[in-house]
Amino acid sequence: MISKHMTAALIGSALLATAAIAQTPNATMNNNMTAPAATTSSESGYHGSWRSSKMVGLNVYNDTNDKLGSISDLLLDKNGMIKAAVIGVGGFLGVGERLVAVPFDKLKFVDTPAQSASGKGAGTGTTTGSSTSAPATTTTSSNPWFPDHAVFSATKQQLESMPEFKYST
């Protein structure tokens, strides 16, 4: 019985080894093939563009530095332009959260984190688009691939009173 298992294992090993040897490239192929030139982010035309994967989960504050929620999704039109951001409002750790869609052009994105005068929330620093309230002290440098947070001019009650966003099936 053991000899049958040993024979099967030996044959299996031989078959696997043969396949592995067959897949090793020739030395002549390696000499003729060159690796593509590495490009840095400054050489690509996308330096300073924001990553959508980093936008989802971004905290959203209002003009008085009260946290409203976080971006749950981005809605694009057929041409790939972002039309709306879906913001999760309320709830705790995603439980009881209510989704609302707001026009993307109504959000202001802040590149640097800041503390408000009272020490709460994210405050405002360098923004894209129109300015918000006076800048506060920044704590770290900005990241070129995503903003620190978004600002939406509404109270939490106004956002919660907006129509709930539902994904259609």
Is residue 139, in this structure, part of any structural domain at all? no
Decide if pLDDT at 168 tops 80. yes
Is residue 66, in this structure, part of any structural domain at all? yes
Is residue 126, in this structure, part of any structural domain at all? no
Distant-in-sequence, close-in-space partners of 29: CB < 8 Å, separation ≥ 6: none
Q: Residue 17: its pLDDT value, please?
A: 65
Is residue 53, in this structure, part of any structural domain at all? yes
Question: Smallest Cα–Cα separation from 148: which of 46, 52, 60?
Answer: 60
What phi, psi does 22 have (nearest 5°)?
-65, -25
Decide if pLDDT at 130 tops 80. no
Predicted confidence band at 162 (pLDDT cuts at 50, 70, 90)? Answer: very high
SS3 28: helix
State the total domains in the chain.
1
Q: What percent of the chain has pLDDT over 90?
A: 22
Q: Residue 147: its pLDDT value, please?
A: 78
Predicted confidence band at 82 (pLDDT cuts at 50, 70, 90)? Answer: very high
Decide if pLDDT at 76 tops 90. yes
Higher pLDDT, 112 or 110: 110
> In which domain, by residue range, is 96 found?
49-112+146-164
Is residue 34, in this structure, part of any structural domain at all? no
| Bridge partner residues of 59 (DSSP) | 70
Question: Smallest Cα–Cα separation from 147: which of 119, 122, 123, 127?
Answer: 127
Is residue 121, in this structure, part of any structural domain at all? no
In angstroms, rounded to a whole number, what is the distance separating the alpha carbons of residues 168 and 23?
Answer: 48
Q: Residue 124: its pLDDT value, please?
A: 44
In angstroms, rounded to a whole number, what is the distance separating the alpha carbons of residues 155 and 116?
Answer: 17
Is residue 93, in this structure, part of any structural domain at all? yes
CATH number at residue 86: 2.30.30.240
Decide if pLDDT at 123 tops 60. no
Decide if pLDDT at 2 tops 80. no
Average pLDDT over residues 23-44: 55
Is residue 71, in this structure, part of any structural domain at all? yes
In angstroms, rounded to a whole number, what is the distance separating the alpha carbons of residues 135 and 154?
Answer: 19
